[in-house]
Amino acid sequence: MLVTHAYRFALDPTPRQVGVLLAHAGAARVAHNWCLARVLANLGQRAAERSYGVAEDDLTPACPWSMYSLRKEWNRVKGEVAPWWAGNSKEAYATGIDNLARSLKNWSDSKKGKRKGPPMGFPGFKTKRETTPSCRFTTGTIRLEDDRKHVTLPVVGTLKTHENTRKLHRRIVNGTARITSATVKREAGRWYVSFCVEVQKRDRVPARPDAVIGVDLGITTLAVFSDGRPAVGNPRHYDTARRKLARLSRTVSRRVGPDRRTGRPPSKRWQRANQQRNRVHHRTASLRRDGVHKLTTALAREYGTIVVEDLNVSGMLRNRSLARVVSDAGFGEIRRQLTYKTQWNGGRVEVASRWFPSSKTCSGCGAVKTKLPLRTRTYVCDQCGLVLDRDENAALNLAALVKRQVAGSGPETRNGRGADRETGPGPAGGRETSTLHRTSRGSGQARTFAQ
């Protein structure tokens, strides 16, 4: 099975190499801005001609937005626009132009209704202060050195890595991996290199291929499982770092920062304080990412079928009382990782409908409550007398949903108003926030069912 993996390593470049990396990132920004200015000038010219009553056939020819056309135009004028262009790799300019071409296509598709999700805005110019320095290499010398402590990139040269590259180096030596591109980026004051790799993986089978597990995601407890597996608490990394971030933000506000109106550069003390604050944000994101990866990897390697809910994350984020904790939990990222990791390990992910009342349905007798307030954390069935934790009851219902469908019992769920409605699980996919849907009240654990 051929899959695409990303391997990321921290770098320890020398001061000279830092300057070279920044020069490449700046070259990408210059190419992006020049091409964008040309596109805007062409659009403005055509709009002005239309206002004068010029016929469509007589308008100035439209400027093509494809990567090929923009790069061809850039190569024609780069000697005048950027006389220093030869000092950087051609991939630096291709990075900026490719990013612009993708942004223009996304904007155009969104405007025409061809692109799902929220409306995309027209791309803007990139500034040195607000743009994350990055550059992508797709051709030239891209390799890992045999000492497993260095990587080589075109023009930039050989860079020392902060960590060992043996995990990727072994695959390349064995012939089971091929590097397709490398991207260098600066985050929180440190440079990283990410390799996009085509990996030949052997077919895997989960440890329990016939096992079905229901996973109920929530805020108080991040994940509750249907098979008695210990629940995973919500670490709330951002809440833990809020006090420190508030203190550092006050320090930054009291320093002399940059002023775009007057052109005032930031002071050294402001830059140091801002770097400290960025490091806290970066650490918080890293801790969250690490926890989600450990959870999803453990589930994908053990269970053959994983059932999750179609949560309306975009709707939940509109709730000002839940937005912060929902964003910190990472519901959408958990589902995204489960989708591809189960494919790698030979399992599958089933997604229950957003209208499936997993929390209001009794896992013992199947009775459905008309209402179940969010403050009620223990489920008590009025029919059979079952008393169970609300989240554990929802997880059991999710697991039983697949088992009943496999058994062929037909429609097995009801909506929140008690009317029969088929809500069988659907295939997993990346459509979490593709459309906006109305909120479902009283269903699930502090959830508006959709994602």
Among all residues, which ones are annotated catalytic? 216, 309, 391
Most distant pair of Cα atoms in the chain: their distance? 81
Paired sense of beta strands 303-309 and 208-217, if any: parallel
What are the C-alpha distances in Å from 307 to residues 17, 242, 400, 450? 48, 33, 9, 15
The phi and psi torsions of 411 (rounded to 5 degrees) equal -60, 130
Between CA 313 and CA 450 the distance in angstroms is 6
Q: Write the CA distances from 342 to 8, 30, 176, 212, 404, integer angstroms.
A: 22, 42, 20, 13, 21
Rounded to whole angstroms, the Cα distance separating 346 from 303 reads: 9
Other C-beta atoms lying within 10 Å of the C-beta of residue 54: 13
Cβ atoms of 278 and 284 within 8 Å: the answer is no
Helical spans, DSSP H, in 214-320: 237-253, 268-302, 313-316
- Which phi-psi region, left, alpha or beta, contains residue 444 (left: φ > 0; alpha: ψ -120 to 50)? left
Helices (H) and strands (E) in the chain, counts: 10, 15
Residues contacting residue 20 through CB under 8 Å, at least 6 positions apart? 155, 156, 157
